[in-house]
Amino acid sequence: MKRKRGGEEEGMDIVWQTPANPPHPHDYVFRNGIRFVRPYYFEFIAHVKNRWAGKTIVDLFAEEFKGRPYDYYVSAVKCGRIQVDGEIVPVSYVVKPSQKISHFLHRHEPPVMACDVVILQKEPDVLTIYKPASVPLLRRYTHVVNIGRTLLLAFLKLSMAWHLYFVSKNAFWRRDKWLLILARNAAKADIFRQQIEAGLVHKQYIAKVVGEFPEDELIVDANIDYNAREGRSTAEVRDSAKGKAASTKFTRISTNGTQSIVLCEPITGRTHQIRVHLQYSGHPIANDMLYLSEQTVDRSVKGWSADRSARISDVSLTSDLDEVLNECEENSNEDFSIDPMCTNCPNLAPKGFYNCRYDGDEDGLWLHCIRYTGPGWTYECPYPDWAKFI
């Protein structure tokens, strides 16, 4: 739907988008296995909270949404990019509780892997899909992949009559989560939930690790102590007062003497459990910079994630991505129209891209969810390419 906002430059045709608008093929730019999204116009809507009431509209945005400079918010209010209850207001306007505030902006999304989302199995009450690990399924972004029920249905070309319920609560953000189970009705979703809470659902992963993994089955029992500030876990002896009890079973699938493919079966579920237990066994995931060494990573540097901080010191692991991003910056004018008020233009990726969860050089962690098993059911997804050559 095309809607021109008051104060926009003469002749500027802006299409304001909402999460209900399905994406089209021309919305994407593909380069070197990475999917970029052409920037688009989007209306962010919020309602004035009690603690916001009494502030001027400019001060509210400057204090609560610090990603843009104060002068930007002044200009945005003046030209109608920021409105209150659908009306243009002066910069001195004082907001009241529950009023609707709209922010119309040129939105740049972080890139993700270019793999498609594929339906693996379609049953009367269950749908399983194969999703790239870097792709979110929350309402944070409109185009990265069709997010939320409406856009997921559009992406999978399913009828709007489908009702989807995400079974695994951590399926949204996990970088290793390729297999997703969705129930078609609330009753089936509740059955899955009860089975998960009762410990009846068994998960299996594969990983490519350093060295020749032991031929015999290996069970690692070591507490997991997660440091939220550092974004990193450590393994502690079983009887330690630190951390939470954790156990993982590992079975070697194949090896070439230098690296091994290992089946990983978590008996408990702790943060980074498989990654830490593999490190503890002496065979960390072969491209997992965060756990390839014992060195603690200072994630506070530039606000990076712990994984990004661990990788940044190894130029060889980041140079390819940087090359792609530089190329995109050089050619970005060919891919979309520059918005004069946008604080991210002319780049395709948003500024602060490395602060985003979907960091391009983190997407390929060699840890892959391949199978969920429960009472009377099993769902699987294909092995990734990196697991096929050994």
d(CA 263, CA 254): 10
**Domain extent for 103:** 40-107
Of 135, 133, 130, nearest to 145 by C-alpha is: 135
Distance CA 136, CA 31 (A): 19
User: Is 313 within the bounds of a domain?
Assistant: no
Residue 83 lies in a domain: yes
- Does residue 158 lie in a domain region? yes
Tell me whether strands 179-183 and 202-210 are parallel, antiparallel or unpaired.
unpaired
283 with 369, same domain: the answer is: yes
Whole-number pLDDT of residue 282: 94
Close Cβ partners of 248 (under 8 Å, ≥ 6 residues apart)? 219, 220, 264, 265, 266, 267, 268, 273, 274, 277
The CB density around residue 263, as the number of other CB atoms within 10 Å, is 16
Residue 295 identity (one-letter amino acid)? Q
Q: What residue ranges in the chain does DSSP mark as E strands?
A: 16-17, 28-31, 34-37, 40-47, 82-84, 100-107, 112-113, 118-122, 126-130, 165-166, 179-183, 202-210, 218-221, 223-227, 232-236, 247-255, 259-266, 367-374, 377-380
Clarify whether residues 97 and 50 are in a common domain.
Answer: yes
> Is residue 34 situated within a structural domain?
no
How far is it, in rounded angstroms, from Cα 323 to Cα 329?
Answer: 10
Residue 303 exposed, middle or buried by CB count within 10 Å (0-12, 13-18, 19+): exposed
Please say which residue of 107, 136, 152 terminates a domain: 107
Residue 85, domain CATH: 3.10.290.10
CATH code of the domain in which 245 resides: 3.30.2350.10
246 plus 370 within the same structural domain: yes
Query: What was the pLDDT predicted at 118?
Result: 79
Residues 101 and 126 in one domain: no
In this structure, what DSSP letter does residue 355 have? G
166 and 272 share one domain: no
Residue 264 is assigned to a structural domain of this protein: yes
Q: What is the pLDDT of residue 306?
A: 63
Using CA atoms, how far apart are residues 267 and 222, in angstroms rounded to an integer?
Answer: 12
Same domain, 247 and 374: yes
Examine the domain organization and report whether 371 and 229 are in the same domain: yes
Place of tokens 């993982």: 248
Tens of pLDDT, residues 105-150 = 888 877 777 776 778 888 888 888 887 666 665 544 444 333 344 4
Give the chain's domain count. Answer: 3
Q: Which of 199, 238, 247, 245 has the alpha carbon at shortest distance from 219?
A: 247
**149 belongs to a structural domain:** yes
Does the bond joining 350 to the residue before it have cis omega, within 30 degrees of 0? Answer: no
Please state, as a whole number, how many other Cβ atoms lie within 10 Å of the Cβ of residue 186: 10
Q: Are 272 and 150 in the same domain? A: no
Q: Which of 197, 218, 252 represents a domain boundary (last residue)?
A: 197
Residues 206 and 283 in one domain: yes
Q: Collect the ranges in the chain with pLDDT lower than 50.
A: 1-12, 19-20, 139-151, 170-176, 300-303, 315-318, 354-363
Strand order in the sheet with 100-107: 16-17, 40-47, 100-107, 82-84
CA dist 37 → 24, 27, 41, 177, 227 (Å): 11, 6, 12, 22, 34
Final residue in a domain of this structure, among 168, 197, 226: 197
pTM (two decimals): 0.67
For residues 280 and 222, membership in a common domain is answered with: yes
Burial class (CB in 10 A: 0-12, 13-18, 19+), 297: buried
Domain assignment present for residue 234? The answer is yes
Task: Indicate whether 252 belongs to any domain.
Answer: yes
Residue 162's contacts (CB-CB under 8 Å, 6 or more residues apart) are 127, 153, 184
Q: Which pLDDT does position 362 carry in this prediction?
A: 41
Same domain, 129 and 75: no
169 and 45 in a common domain: no
